[in-house]
Amino acid sequence: MDDGMHWRKQWVMQGCVFLIICVLSGCVLDRQYTPEQIFRRAVAGMAGRERITFSGQTGIRTDGGLPTAKQFEYRGKLRNHDELIMHWGSTEAFRKQGDYVALKEDKSEPGVTHERFFRQNGKWITLTAGDTSMVQNGMLNRFNPIQELEELNTLNKSIRMEKGAARGTWVVRIEPEPASAKRWLKERLMEEMNTLNPQIRILKTQHTETNQELQQKLSQVWKQSCEDMNNQLEHSSVQTVYHLTIDRQTGLPLKLSSECRISRQVANEEQHQEALITRVVFEDYK
């Protein structure tokens, strides 16, 4: 009887030791990767998926206040690895059409528009209605979170692990260096401006000579707007911070939030700040 009790105690002790080793091994497994490696693995894991859906919100906040009425929602569906369709519109417009109805059926209700993208040689290209690729990226391309993470992966940045993550997740904080953040913002804004220039040229060919003067004025306005934007960015500072929530088991992104803050001096040497706030949720990985 004593021998049986002795063996049972040994088995219990061995079981406890085994559990402790397992727990410690899990901790070591978490620590064997740096925050940057965890981030890179998450981006690579997303790039290898055939299907992903996501939903996001964005809004502009001025001078540290609450987000203004300049807000919209967007939803996206990746399929066949490289084909993406995005829908965007006001919160009210999405509420009227119901959750994910248009996204699933590739349809848009009034107030909700959509755009198609195709990934080619690592670049996301906008497709027209006839699936003809355009050299310029679309106006919504900057809010493609898959592209955003891919480009963020190439920037000079600091990455660290945040404390207090929900169970089963990591939260990594990614902050591009100010010079990189400013250059990246300028590139994306210029891409958006460049989508307008071809449209102006198309309008020129569609109108009679009596409207040529109007089209020339539009071209001048576009050129002046580009110069003004570059001048404002030149005298502004840009700080961008991302927080990426990652599933520990799959290593895939679950949520992405960001704040891009632009600061510049205005009249009376006052500091004016604007911040673009975004929140994205990823799901339905296949």
The two beta strands, 253-265 and 271-283, are antiparallel
- Residue with the larger pLDDT of the pair 76 and 273: 76
Locate 134 and state its tokens: 């355009």
E strand or H helix that includes residue 120: strand 112-120
Mean pLDDT over all residues of the chain?
A: 77
pLDDT in tens, 210-258: 566 767 777 777 777 777 777 777 778 899 999 999 999 999 999 999 9
Q: Which one-letter amino acid corresponds to residue 17?
A: V
E strand or H helix that includes residue 1: none
pLDDT, residue 61, reads 84
pLDDT, residue 9, reads 53
pLDDT, residue 62, reads 80
- Residue with the larger pLDDT of the pair 136 and 109: 109
pLDDT, residue 54, reads 97
Q: Which of 47-61, 109-123, 164-178, 203-217 has the lowest mean pLDDT?
A: 203-217
Q: Which of 77, 78, 56, 59 is nearest to 69 (CA)?
A: 59
- Residue with the larger pLDDT of the pair 112 and 175: 175
Q: Does 202 score more than 70 pLDDT?
A: no
**Residue listed under structure tokens 């002046």:** 224
pLDDT, residue 204, reads 52
pLDDT, residue 133, reads 41
Environment class of residue 246 by beta-carbon count within 10 Å: exposed (0-12), middle (13-18) or buried (19+)? Answer: buried
- Residue with the larger pLDDT of the pair 43 and 107: 43
Query: How many of the other CB atoms lie within 10 Å of CB of 127?
Result: 17
Q: How confident is the model at residue 173 (pLDDT cuts 50, 70, 90)?
A: very high
Rounded to whole angstroms, the Cα distance separating 268 from 14 reads: 74
Q: How confident is the model at residue 196 (pLDDT cuts 50, 70, 90)?
A: low
Q: Does 143 score more than 80 pLDDT?
A: yes
Q: How confident is the model at residue 59 (pLDDT cuts 50, 70, 90)?
A: confident
pLDDT, residue 153, reads 94
Torsional sign, CA 180, 224, 69, 145: negative
Q: Does 181 score more than 80 pLDDT?
A: yes
pLDDT, residue 23, reads 42
pLDDT, residue 134, reads 40
E strand or H helix that includes residue 3: helix 2-31
Residue 270 is given by DSSP the state -
